[in-house]
Structure 1
């Protein structure tokens, strides 16, 4: 009887937590320890090429950087909650550099042909409040890590992941191509006196052939930002709260950079800084063939905005970064103040081929919206009500 009971007890013991491999499938279950990153990294090592990785339901703690650049023909399934711990001292010293503006990341993936499916269950929790409080409204704290970076990644599909309280940017795509990211839910919200600051939803750089569909983003900066040397980008059905919505830039800072062939469509922006806009440094390069189509917004500071001298708001006319063939079509909503558009193009490289159709922007408190334009083509279809001063600011604090 004792032997039988012992056998039953043995059979009832669950599989060991951590990482288990069966054939080409690696399954990671919560260990209950202070760090599950080693188990996840082991799964990437053993099943990251021509295999499958299952990160099951449950709570996982991530206490170390995860860097995997050799994925190949791998399907990754995540159903659990991944929490990055709040050891700021560790992360600032160990986050992985990603070159752009001295940024770094906590989680970097690269390789050829892989997918990450969250099934609407995966949750990435960054313990961001700790970062927001330590950062104290600063913008670029050294070592503050991007949540997820695709780096030299090709043929990638990401779907069904939720982010809450990211440390910094939610996602960054660099040196990558043929990337599709769908059904993502992002939210950075501070509960203290300090703002989230620079918690972008998405940034691309040196990448091409990217599709973004069905996103909901609440963040403290650009919602979807297309940065230098990006081309062939399609963004559809995105709702942005408290953010910069759809943005080209910034680019051209100490480098010749370009952005080509971008379509944003079916966008909603609620209580945001901007809606459909372009920002560059006074540099060299070009922005060409960009369309903002079917935009609806409420209470947006400056819905349509172009600046060739972002942040410093000086030396604007020295810019040789050409902005051309940009279309705004079916853009409707309310501006926070009495400016619908502030467009200042460099005298050194005036904007050409700007086109506007079906623009209906009204100040939320009534009255007529101003449309300020300088150094752009006169056949744009936009009825300018005045000139835009050089160095026009991105954010207004009242009526112009």
Structure 2
């Protein structure tokens, strides 16, 4: 029917309502021949439904009702006609387990070149990753579950992503995106299963979500600017990380990052910034970690500018050329399961500048207690409570 329709887009500083006098229409994938039996490849039905929703000169919704949908891979592409488009998933979309299929994919499900997109519905993307973890079936990295590329004005909310083969959600060159009430889960031993991976994107807000994986809950890499993360429960996983930075040419600065009111439970790291030991020039600046609870993390607070996880990477005598500056750690409390609760291991050629530690209370319960902090090439100051005592000068 014809009505005045408002599409709500989440921004960091509020909400924008885009209103049009347009027709709303739902495109149900069952009408396009989807079987929803969990075995038949329903990719074509989803793609045909999206084609019509995208071409519809109004607010078009692609609806995936309850049921199980096997999808061997799908790219939902724009630009689209009309105004907002919605991808509403109420059922379970299952990824292929045959490496002859999934090894050919960079992203299993991807959306690209779309303005005003809403992904919602309380449904589940099931990556069926156990068929691939640790088995090296592909010559290339394992596919992302959900790739979001070149999208302006995006909301992703009330969805689940389980057992991705690789990264769960990859955000690349998106502007104005809001994630909320997102549930991401994979076992702690699943490799490279980052929850949300952000690169070359601006104005991204992630809020009120639970993320537990075998890698970073949230990873923020080159070119990420104005990223706000609030109300995240992370664990298991490697914590919330900025980096790895400095490995590839033509990287852009990382700046204006805020991580606030988050909880980390049994994670490898809490809040982390990492750059490659030998790197090209770069910068990460204006970063705040505030009001953080950490329970039993191995590295609650860590800056590591000698990151080198690969066997063939350069030795520790080479220094990072990424400048880290103006980083604040405020009101961070909880417990460490290692003696070094704070590690600031910065580059000798590009020392960290403007590091602020304020009201840090990290306990360590072990025979060799109390906890300590370690610093190398880190400049700044500490105020308020200092547990462990600060090593900053």
Q: TM-score range by the shorter chain?
A: 0.7 to 0.9
Return the structure number with greater strand share.
Answer: 2
Q: Show the counterpart of 1:199.
A: 193
Equivalent residue in structure 1 for 2:110, among 95, 108, 111: 108
Unaligned runs of 5+ in 2: 1-22
Alignment of 1:1-400 (within 5 A): 24-29=25-30, 30-31=34-35, 32=37, 34-49=40-55, 50=58, 51-71=60-80, 73-92=84-103, 94-95=104-105, 104-110=106-112, 111-118=114-121, 121-135=122-136, 142-189=140-187, 195-255=189-249, 256-281=251-276, 282-311=279-308, 312=313, 314-315=315-316, 318-365=319-366, 367-381=369-383, 383-385=389-391
| SS of the residue 1:158 aligns to | strand
- CA–CA separation in structure 2 for the residues paired with 1:135 and 1:364: 39
Q: How many residues are aligned here? A: 348
- CA–CA separation in structure 2 for the residues paired with 1:278 and 1:321: 11
Return the structure number with greater helix share.
Answer: 1
Q: CA RMSD in A?
A: 2.2
Unaligned runs of 5+ in 1: 1-21, 96-103, 388-400
Change (3 A) 1:23 1:182: closer
Rg larger in structure: 1
Change (3 A) 1:235 1:378: closer
TM-score normalised to structure 1 length: 0.82
Change (3 A) 1:336 1:313: farther
How far off is 1:67 after superposition? 4.2
How far off is 1:297 after superposition? 1.4
Change (3 A) 1:159 1:316: farther
Q: Contact conserved, 1:269 with 1:297, CA < 8 A, in 2? A: yes
| SS of the residue 2:177 aligns to | strand
Q: Contact conserved, 2:346 with 2:377, CA < 8 A, in 1? A: yes
The Cα offsets for residues 2-54 of structure 1, whole Å up to 9 and x where unpaired, read as xxxxxxxxxxxxxxxxxxxx983211134135111111101111112432211
Q: Contact conserved, 2:76 with 2:110, CA < 8 A, in 1? A: yes
How far off is 1:134 after superposition? 1.8
Q: Contact conserved, 2:357 with 2:381, CA < 8 A, in 1? A: no
TM-score normalised to structure 2 length: 0.83
- CA–CA separation in structure 2 for the residues paired with 1:316 and 1:28: 57
